[in-house]
Structure 1
Amino acid sequence: MTNFDSKKLTELVLYILCKTGGVDFYHVFKILYFAEMKHLAKWGSGIVPDEFCALKYGPVPTHLYDAVKELGHSRMKLSEELSEVVQFAGEDAPNVLLPKRDANVDFLSKSEIDVLDQSIIEHESMTFGQLMRKSHDAAWDEANRRVHGTNVISPISMAKVMNADEAMLEYIEEQMQIEAALR
């Protein structure tokens, strides 16, 4: 993960926390997942500089999940950055994250803010069970059923869930090939 990716991911989380007043990290992950899907289907690009993996309780942005688990221990760059701007609410709400400062929206485009706002409105008040059921979609199922290989959820599968047309799916595939070639 590049330094810019780490900063962008931090600002995405802060944006959600500032808009909601603080939510548990499960809600943060799902708000990001659904915003990612919408942006992929409409614009052909993701907003989250992380891979979503199909885990038991639904899609999780891998690096962000690891960073949240490390908060306060500062073993990785992203968790160090997050711990400077995010804190756990405390003993009464040990999984709730609170912002320590406002998000720097210079890291977010207008289209990214739009899908984040939509996702926050749709998902912040959903229960754990409702979010789990909704996020166990065809993209999650495809990645979860893989016997060999990775449980990374394909951006193409995510866009398909949002009914992206064939031209958009081809565009996403081309962008993925370009990114892979540049690595």
Structure 2
Amino acid sequence: MKLLNKIELFDNEKAVNALLYVARALPDGGTHKVFKVLYFAERQHLATYGASILSDNFVRMANGPVPSSVYYLVKAVRGQFSLPLEPTFAASLHARLSASSPKELRALAEPDEDYLAETERECLDEAIAYCRPFGFGKLSDVSHDSAWQAVPEGHEMSMLDIATAGGATGEMLQYIQTVMENRTQLLA
């Protein structure tokens, strides 16, 4: 199953490999830290390259941005949410990730890095290094950027606002807007 996003189709396999990539680098990070790494990597990749890593919608939550479709995958691993996943993928998901509690997310397998472009891995690595020293409270605080502040809690954050918070130039924002409009037309 692929979930429609405003930018493109969400790719479950790519998302799992991004989770594995981050969880492997931060074995004691937990979902909060992993989600913040994904947010900062997404923000930087959008601002620098004009492209999304996850093609997920980030939602403003009290403790910072949360990638919504990735969150549902993690909840499915925990057994807290039933997604209509293809059975082979669902079995593979449980064999590769463990999330027995909200504070725990463990990689049980190596990521298939072929799912992640070199620029995506670079942004993930930078976000991992940035987030690694922060505890829960500090990480929440630093993720409360202008994109997070622009919407009420529980609402989807704008990709353009996320790119702006990452330092995107006006030209890059125009490029992202054009790509979003073109994909919307193609998917209509």
**Length, aligned pairs only:** 176
| 2:7 alignment counterpart | none
Q: Is contact 2:31–2:102 with CA below 8 Å preserved after alignment?
A: no
Cα distance change, pair 5–130 in 1 and its aligned pair in 2 (3 A): same
Shift of 1:22: 4.2
Shift of 1:111: 0.2
Distance in 1 (CA, whole Å) between partners of 2:144 and 2:98 is 28
Distance in 2 (CA, whole Å) between partners of 1:154 and 1:82 is 29
Q: Is contact 1:8–1:49 with CA below 8 Å preserved after alignment?
A: no
Q: Encode CA deviations 1:114-144: one digit per residue, 9 max, x unaligned.
A: 0000000010221111111111111011122
Distance in 1 (CA, whole Å) between partners of 2:36 and 2:102 is 18
Question: % of aligned pairs identical?
Answer: 31
| 1:43 alignment counterpart | 49
| 1:32 alignment counterpart | 38
Distance in 2 (CA, whole Å) between partners of 1:72 and 1:119 is 25
Q: Is contact 1:143–1:153 with CA below 8 Å preserved after alignment?
A: yes
| 2:2 alignment counterpart | 2
Shift of 1:94: 5.8
AA paired with 2:105?
A: L
Correspondences of 1:122-137 after superposition (within 5 Å):
122-137=130-145
Distance in 2 (CA, whole Å) between partners of 1:31 and 1:9 is 13
Distance in 1 (CA, whole Å) between partners of 2:12 and 2:96 is 13
| 1:177 alignment counterpart | 181
Q: Is contact 1:22–1:99 with CA below 8 Å preserved after alignment?
A: no
- Residue among 125, 129, 133 paired with 1:117: 125
Correspondences of 1:47-126 after superposition (within 5 Å):
47-73=53-79, 75-76=82-83, 77=85, 80=90, 81-88=92-99, 95-126=103-134
Q: Is contact 1:45–1:172 with CA below 8 Å preserved after alignment?
A: yes
Distance in 1 (CA, whole Å) between partners of 2:78 and 2:166 is 36
Q: Encode CA deviations 1:57-110: one digit per residue, 9 max, x unaligned.
A: 11100011122223243721299353221013x6xx762211111000000000
- Residue among 167, 172, 175 paired with 2:171: 167
Shift of 1:15: 0.4
Shift of 1:159: 1.1
1:12 is aligned to 2:18: yes
Distance in 1 (CA, whole Å) between partners of 2:35 and 2:14 is 15
AA paired with 2:15?
A: L
Q: Is contact 1:8–1:107 with CA below 8 Å preserved after alignment?
A: yes
Structure with bigger strand share is 1
Distance in 1 (CA, whole Å) between partners of 2:109 and 2:123 is 22
Secondary structure of 1:71's match? helix
Distance in 2 (CA, whole Å) between partners of 1:6 and 1:95 is 22
Which stretch has the larger CA shift, 170-179 or 13-22? 13-22
Q: Is contact 1:24–1:96 with CA below 8 Å preserved after alignment?
A: yes
AA paired with 1:156?
A: L
Which sections of structure 2, spanning at least 5 residues, go unmatched? 4-9
